[in-house]
């Protein structure tokens, strides 16, 4: 094959397919809103009022991404309890480790944290995309985040993920058309 043919095949993959319409019922949108509001609200309440941490980064951005998975696409394998808890915990641990080992080169620590988290989550079959952000936050977070060391794995990560997961189990089983989780292990 010539290079032109190979190049053509390669770039043709990027055309995509025709988008099919997949209308979402209003009740699904409403339950996603209710669940994410209660879930993120509960995590925020715990960290801002009960734990009383100064650093707002205790409410890590990856909790928002998990809320999307848990309440809008809860049937996804990426949103199942094993993936949520495992993905968060493993990625937090890897992120803290990457920071401790490579804090002198944050670009390197960031790349190692995210890519290693992805690989380990895939190997362990606990892929949860917000885990990549969780690992990155451990590296690029504030001094308050860095001072937590490995306790970052438990607070805020483990606690926040557990709160979101518990609320997802309750909320996603209220509507007749929803059932969560699809599996535990």
> How does pLDDT run across 23-42, given as a tens digit for each residue?
899 999 999 999 999 999 99
Please count the CA atoms within 13 angstroms of the CA of 185 that sit on its side-chain side: 0
**Domains in the chain, number:** 1
In a domain, 17, yes or no: no
Distance from C-alpha of 23 to C-alpha of 155, rounded to nearest angstrom: 38
Is residue 16 assigned to a domain?
no
Nearest residue to 24 (alpha-carbon basis) of 78, 77, 80, 73: 73
Is the alpha carbon torsion for 145, 66, 128, 106 positive or negative?
negative
Question: What domain range is 137 assigned to?
Answer: 25-171
Q: How sure is the predictor about 146, in pLDDT bands with cuts at 50, 70 and 90?
A: very high
Residue 10 pLDDT: 79
Cα distance between residue 147 and residue 14, in whole Å: 44
123 is a domain residue: yes
Is residue 9's pLDDT more than 90?
no
pTM (two decimals): 0.91
Query: What's the average model confidence in pLDDT over 7-35?
Result: 87
The Cα–Cα gap between 92 and 185 comes to 20
55 within some domain: yes
């Amino acid at each position: 094959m010539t290079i032109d043919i190979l190049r053509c095949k390669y770039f043709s993959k990027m055309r995509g397919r025709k988008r099919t319409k997949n209308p979402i019922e209003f009740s699904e949108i409403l339950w996603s809103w209710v669940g994410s509001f209660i879930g993120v609200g509960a995590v925020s309440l715990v960290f801002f009022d009960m734990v009383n941490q100064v650093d707002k980064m205790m409410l890590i951005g990856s909790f928002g991404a998990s809320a999307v998975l848990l309440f809008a696409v809860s049937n996804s394998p990426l949103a199942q309890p094993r993936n949520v808890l495992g993905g968060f915990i493993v990625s937090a641990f890897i992120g803290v480790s990457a920071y401790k080992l490579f804090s002198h080169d944050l670009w390197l620590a960031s790349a190692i944290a995210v890519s290693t988290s992805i690989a380990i989550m895939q190997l362990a079959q606990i892929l949860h995309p917000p885990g990549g952000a969780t690992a990155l936050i451990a590296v690029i977070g504030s001094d308050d985040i860095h001072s937590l060391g490995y306790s970052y794995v438990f607070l805020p990560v483990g606690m926040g993920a557990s709160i979101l997961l518990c609320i997802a189990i309750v909320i996603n089983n209220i509507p007749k058309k929803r059932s969560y989780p699809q599996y535990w292990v």
